[in-house]
Amino acid sequence: MSTVSVGPALARVACRIEGQVAWVTLSHPGRLNAMSRAMWRELRAVFEGFAHQLGLRCVVVTGADGHFCAGGDISEYSGFRFEETSLRNFHETEVWGALDAMLACDLPIVAEIHGHCMGAGVEIASCCDLRLASASARFGAPIAKLGFPMAPREAQLVAQALGELTAREMLLAATVFDAAELKARGFLSQLCSDDSLCDAVKLLVKRITALAPQAAKLNKQTLRALRDEPPAALLTDAYRYAPSAEHREGVAAFMAKRPPQFEDPAP
């Protein structure tokens, strides 16, 4: 067994290798494993590193301390979100760099989901091939309360994994779903009791690692080739909202722990 910890102790992505399995843990104590910018870069480095790890047959992604990931680390947002260039770099380089590294991984990826799985957590889970969740897990992407949309590539990813109706409910109505509902809608491959999730994941990993690794690799490559790219024009215009009053108000209200006051846009 080998263990690699990437990033500072308080916010990190840890990767533990046990035989043929890599266990990737999102950890941000006190913030329900919310993704910091550094964690996005670390997640990318971890998954890119798997290309050089011979003998691996499966990856498990989970979160520390009873939660998967509660979204992005909003305490960092005022430092980059209100300028178009820095906002674009965050989503297209840091966030999408990590998500794309997960999508490019030729190993089967299993998500073990406890507790909160919100925003960034839903995006990370959407990159996984099989998703198992505890009955108490909760899922959503209520970023409209913060005054901004989901980035185009991320929205495409989530809509493909969740289904378009569920993605619309999450993004347009800030709906939060329980695990049973998302199992019924096809996002989760298995629903477990809180006490049995870990054992269920281990059993699934045992099944996966017993199968032909070449077949897994080729299946992943085939499925990846079927994905569509968002239109280039959409990516060009996607971050022009960066300096908007609505965007600033949403983030400021969250940090001040008060309801946001969104005004109608000028005609």
The 3 state secondary structure assigned to 130-170 is EEEEECCCEEECCHHHHCCCCCHHHHHHHHHHHCHHHHHHH
Tokens of 186: 């096809």
pLDDT at site 228: 67
pLDDT at site 5: 46
pLDDT band at residue 195 under the 50/70/90 scheme: very high
Residue 190 reports pLDDT greater than 80: yes
Number of DSSP helices (H) and strands (E) in the chain, helices first: 11, 10
Orientation of helix 96-103 relative to helix 152-162, angle to 10°: 40
Domain positions in the chain are: 2-195+210-215
What kind of architecture, by CATH, is found in domain 2-195+210-215? Alpha-Beta Complex (3.90)
**Per-residue pLDDT reduced to its tens digit, 222-265:** 888 877 666 677 777 788 889 998 899 999 999 999 998 878 66
pLDDT at site 265: 63
Residue 9 reports pLDDT greater than 70: no
What is d(CA 149, CA 84) in angstroms, rounded to the nearest whole number? 14
Q: How far apart are the first and last CA of the chain?
A: 61
**Per-residue pLDDT reduced to its tens digit, 66-110:** 999 999 999 999 999 999 999 999 999 999 999 999 999 999 999
**Per-residue pLDDT reduced to its tens digit, 125-164:** 999 999 999 999 999 999 999 999 999 999 999 999 999 9
